[in-house]
């Protein structure tokens, strides 16, 4: 197969006197490569035809002008690398993406790489919020991965979406299916930036063997959860297995830096959770740095497993630095949360009901359980309040299986009271 430009061949390019740069670019392409040709107006069809060709590499070159796209583009060919060259701006067309689930790019195949170092996907966020122009939606995402195995998303800046910067979930299901054939996605997200998106920077509904590294999730605002990252399944057959975050930043999001919601994840098909955060800067989020809801009250069929945080710096949160909601009927049958080398500083200055760390239970029966703070959990605070606060119902119903050492550096030295009802609690609070 000859290397080619989409729409024009090398021979035609020479015959028409196309610039030497174009000829060199085409001549240096390898077999099974496509370089997409830019055109005025909507480039969706050009890019889609290149992807649908099935060629191993599809390149969107930097032509010094935005690549306008007016409709969804789907990556549905396996074993394909789609490269957005440095400086490329893929820009959503004004007035387009009218459907409530219209996203810019959707990955629906295995072994697909979306590579865009110093390239940007940008939507028209402010237009989507105008009810005179658009039906309200929180699902106009920049980039969606659905049921893809071994995908890679790298280098891109994803901004101004009407939903999420990046959405990771299961595959589509037929109308007669209760459970899709692909119940999760797996792969690598690295070196990306999500910025000024309407709902979330990164949403993970279902994933297994997923690595997220060296990325920044910032400035999310508009509609709940309005957080940097949200991990929140809707169905018991979805997966949260072997998900690893390494060296990421979560900055200035309207609500939370990291949010994990497991209230809907229960039932016979749930599997043990394994989520690890290793190296994180969680800075200036307007509500909570790390917020975890382990399950719905009174349910005991949720997933078990572990969520861990290591080497994390949490500072400047408007409300709580860390907020954990847990009230399980059987402490032995719920998720475990572990911390190692954590610093919480200058948090909780937005309201009088905020604290560096809050352990929260509801009025439903159940104890707060299964937290290990590790041996170096440090709270830096100068407000006259407890560094570690337990809600009224947590104090009443008690704590079980809570361990570690929490060091509180606060000149007011207000004590942190846990509960009179403690089961297997060895937590040491140093004030």
pLDDT tens for the 431 residues of the chain, in order: 344 444 433 333 333 332 322 322 333 445 579 999 999 999 999 999 999 999 999 999 999 999 999 999 999 999 999 999 999 999 999 999 999 999 999 999 999 999 999 999 999 999 999 999 999 999 999 999 999 999 999 999 999 999 999 999 999 988 888 899 999 999 999 999 999 999 999 999 999 999 999 999 999 999 999 999 999 999 999 999 999 999 999 999 999 999 999 988 988 889 999 999 999 999 999 999 999 998 776 666 778 899 999 999 999 999 999 999 988 777 777 899 999 999 999 998 888 889 999 999 888 778 899 999 999 999 999 999 999 999 999 999 999 999 999 999 999 999 999 999 999 999 999 99
Check residue 214 and report its DSSP letter.
S
Residues 168 and 108 in one domain: yes
Backbone angle region of 54, left / alpha / beta, with phi > 0 → left and psi within -120 to 50 → alpha:
left
Is 28 inside any structural domain?
yes
Does residue 396 fall inside a structural domain?
Answer: yes
| 2, 117: one domain | no
**Are 262 and 335 in a shared domain?**
yes
Whether 309 is covered by a domain: the verdict is: yes
Domain total of the chain: 3
Query: Residues 16, 68: one domain?
Result: no
The DSSP letter of residue 172 is P
242-245-246-249 Cα dihedral, nearest 10 degrees? 180
Distance of CA 227 to the CA centre of its chain: 9
- Say how far apart CA 141 and CA 156 lie, in whole Å: 14
Tell me if 210 is assigned to some domain.
no
* Last residue within a domain, chosen from 14, 34, 61: 61
Predicted pLDDT at 8: 36
Residues 99 and 144 in one domain: yes
Question: Pick from 157, 172, 199: which residue ends a domain?
Answer: 199
Answer yes or no: do 349 and 423 share one domain. yes
Does residue 154 form part of some domain?
A: yes
Instruction: Give every CB contact of residue 164 below 8 A, 6+ residues apart in sequence.
Output: 141, 142, 194, 197, 199, 200, 201, 202, 203
| CA-to-CA separations, 126 to 123, 218, 236, 256, 351, in angstroms, rounded | 9, 17, 35, 22, 29
CA–CA gap between residue 133 and residue 296 (Å, rounded) = 38
Q: What does the pLDDT read at residue 298?
A: 64
Q: Helices (DSSP H) in 150-198: which residue ranges?
A: none
Nearest Cα residue to 125 out of 93, 160, 154: 160
Any idea what DSSP says for residue 102?
Answer: -
pLDDT of 339 reads: 98
Query: In degrees rounded to 5, what are phi and psi of residue 91?
Result: -115, 125
Give the model's pLDDT for residue 176.
83
Q: Is residue 93 part of a domain?
A: yes
User: How far, in Å, CA of 394 to CA of 417, rounded?
Assistant: 11
Closest to 390 measured CA to CA, from 367, 365, 413: 367
pTM of the model: 0.92
Which of 59, 129, 133 is closest to 96 using CA atoms? Answer: 133
Same domain, 289 and 430: yes
Q: Is residue 215 part of a domain?
A: no
CA distance 235 to 254: 27
* Claim to verify: residue 186 and residue 322 sit in the same structural domain: no
Same structural domain, 355 and 383:
yes
Query: Do 285 and 415 fall into the same domain?
Result: yes
Do 174 and 90 belong together in one domain? yes
Residue 97 within a domain: yes
Picking from 164, 199, 234, the residue at the C-terminal end of a domain is 199
Enclosing domain of residue 181: 63-199
**Is 149 found in the same domain as 42?**
no
Q: What is the DSSP letter of 331?
A: G
């Amino acid at each position: 197969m000859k290397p080619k430009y989409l729409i024009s061949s090398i021979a035609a390019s020479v015959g028409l006197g196309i610039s030497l740069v174009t000829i060199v670019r085409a001549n240096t392409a390898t077999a099974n490569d496509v370089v997409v040709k830019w055109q005025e107006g909507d480039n969706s069809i050009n890019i889609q035809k290149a992807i649908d060709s099935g060629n191993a590499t599809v390149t969107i070159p930097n032509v010094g002008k935005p690549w306008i796209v007016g409709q969804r583009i789907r990556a549905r060919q396996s074993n394909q690398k789609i490269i957005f060259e440095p400086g490329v701006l893929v820009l959503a067309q004004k007035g387009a993406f009218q459907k409530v689930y219209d996203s810019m790019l959707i990955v629906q195949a295995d072994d697909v790489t979306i590579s865009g170092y110093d390239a940007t996907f940008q939507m028209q966020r402010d237009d989507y919020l105008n009810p005179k122009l658009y039906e309200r939606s929180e699902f106009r995402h920049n980039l969606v991965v659905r049921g893809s195995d071994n995908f890679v998303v790298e280098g891109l800046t994803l901004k101004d979406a009407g939903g999420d910067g990046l959405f990771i979930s299961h595959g589509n299901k037929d109308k007669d299916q209760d459970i899709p054939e692909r119940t999760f996605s797996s792969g690598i997200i690295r070196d990306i930036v999500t910025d000024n998106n309407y709902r979330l920077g990164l949403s993970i509904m279902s994933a297994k063997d997923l690595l997220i590294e060296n990325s920044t999730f910032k400035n999310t605002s508009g509609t709940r959860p309005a957080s940097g990252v949200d991990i929140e399944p809707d169905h018991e057959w979805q997966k949260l297995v072997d998900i690893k975050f390494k060296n990421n930043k979560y900055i200035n999001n309207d609500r939370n830096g990291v949010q994990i919601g497991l209230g809907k994840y229960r039932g016979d098909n749930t599997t043990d959770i394994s989520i690890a955060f290793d190296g994180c800067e969680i800075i200036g989020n307007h509500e909570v740095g790390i917020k975890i809801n382990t399950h719905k009250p009174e349910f005991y069929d949720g997933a078990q497993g572990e969520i861990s945080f290591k080497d994390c710096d949490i500072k400047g949160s408007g409300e709580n630095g860390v907020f954990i909601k847990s009230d399980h009927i059987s402490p032995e049958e719920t998720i475990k949360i572990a911390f190692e080398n954590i610093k919480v500083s200058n948090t909780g200055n937005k309201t009088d009901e905020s604290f560096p760390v809050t352990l929260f239970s509801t009025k439903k029966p159940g104890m707060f359980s299964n937290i290990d703070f590790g041996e170096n959990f440090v709270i830096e605070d100068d407000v006259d309040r407890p560094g570690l606060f337990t809600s009224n119902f947590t104090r009443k119903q008690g704590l079980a299986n809570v361990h570690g050492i929490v060091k509180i550096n606060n000149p007011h030295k207000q004590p942190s009271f846990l509960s009179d009802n403690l089961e297997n609690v060895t937590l040491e609070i140093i004030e």
